[in-house]
Amino acid sequence: MNLDNLSRIDLNLLVTLQVLLEEQSVTRAAHRLHLSQSALSKSLQRLRETLDDPLFQRTAHGLKPTAHALALGQQLPQVLQHLYQLTQPPSFTPQTSERHFSFSIVESAYETLFPYFIGPLIQQAPQVKLDSYVWTEKSMHDLQQGQIDIGIAGRDIQSPLTATTDNLADGIECQTLFNDHQVCLVRENHPILEQINKGKWDMQTYLSLRHVQVRCEGNKWWALDYYLANKNLHRDLSATVPDFYGAASICAHTDLIFTLPSSFAKHAQKLYPLTQITLPFEFMPMAYVLMWHERNNQEPGHQWLREMIFNSVSQATP
């Protein structure tokens, strides 16, 4: 490492570059950095001279990063995280900490998990600030980039190991909070209940019904639909909605059937006159998992946060 060359670089420029990569707009980046556009343009010019690359091209839609800028963007979040940690004390005291922690949580887990750990967190760390967001198709990328601290999402268990290893981005660690399985909800007095009482409840009967579905991570299909497609079968998805409570409400007021994790079905039944029935065929279970980036493995505040969530949830779930 050539420390003489490094000493000539203004490390603030790395922060500027990261914000420009995220915003791809001088106006928005200047606003985030509390700078004038003129001052930010000067910083961008210094970056270009230091890195010997134009870094961005102006287009009608904002700034377009060059290949070199995109390559730097793959390394910058972790570099900045390490620099940030160097400026922090080596310990974490919940009672006095004013840290901000951010979560991205799959919508079905808000009712099932969030209430159980939010109380203990606030009680132990009254000055800590918590920001939560719904888990989307972009959340895994946000975890990688350090834009959120913790993710909680559902993962299908195809074998004893896959809930913690499949479909995770590079650098993402995870821990299972609890396992779950899929069940069905129908309105009270739904015609299918009489057939079930007569023993007529199988995959063919299930597929003959019209279904309401929740769009998950931007996708209309769930793992169940891909499972059925491999058998040349499909559900009649009559309605696709963005959230679980909306689907439960539709289910309660129509003859549509709703397939969902059993843990959320219990909460839906507290609000709506719904009857729970079993899925009439074998299907893989699922797990709710806690996710974070490996860069935070040893960070004291992050360790405390993960332990609080895991312990609180493990006491509240079977």
Rounded distance between C-alpha atoms, residue 137 and residue 30, angstroms: 28
C-beta of residue 70 within 8 angstroms of C-beta of residue 17: no
The model's confidence at residue 161, banded by pLDDT at 50, 70 and 90, is: very low
Q: Give the contacts of 280 (CB within 8 A, at least 6 positions apart).
A: 201, 202, 203, 205, 206
Q: So what's the pLDDT on residue 165? A: 47
Whether the CA torsion 97, 98, 104, 107 is positive or negative: it is: positive
Q: SS3 for 187?
A: strand
Q: Which residues of 37-70 are buried (b: 16+ CB within 10 A; e: fewer)?
A: eeebeebbeebeeebeeebbeeeeeebebbeebe
User: Is residue 212 very low, low, confident or very high in pLDDT (cuts 50, 70, 90)?
Assistant: very high
Q: What is the pLDDT of residue 90?
A: 64
- Residue 6 to residue 124: CA distance in whole angstroms: 41
Specify the pLDDT at position 245: 92
What pLDDT score was predicted for residue 83? Answer: 84
What is the rounded radius of gyration, in angstroms, for the C-alpha atoms of the chain? 24
State the Cα–Cα distance between residues 152 and 201, nearest whole angstrom: 33
Instruction: Give me the mean pLDDT over the 295-302 stretch.
Output: 92
Domains of the chain: 3-86 (1.10.10.10), 100-180+287-316 (3.40.190.10), 182-284 (3.40.190.10)
| CA separation for the pair 272, 270 (Å, rounded) | 6
> Could you report how far apart the first and last alpha carbons of the chain are, in Å?
52
Which of 20-24, 86-90, 282-286 has the weakest average pLDDT? 86-90
Q: Is the pLDDT of residue 6 over 90?
A: no
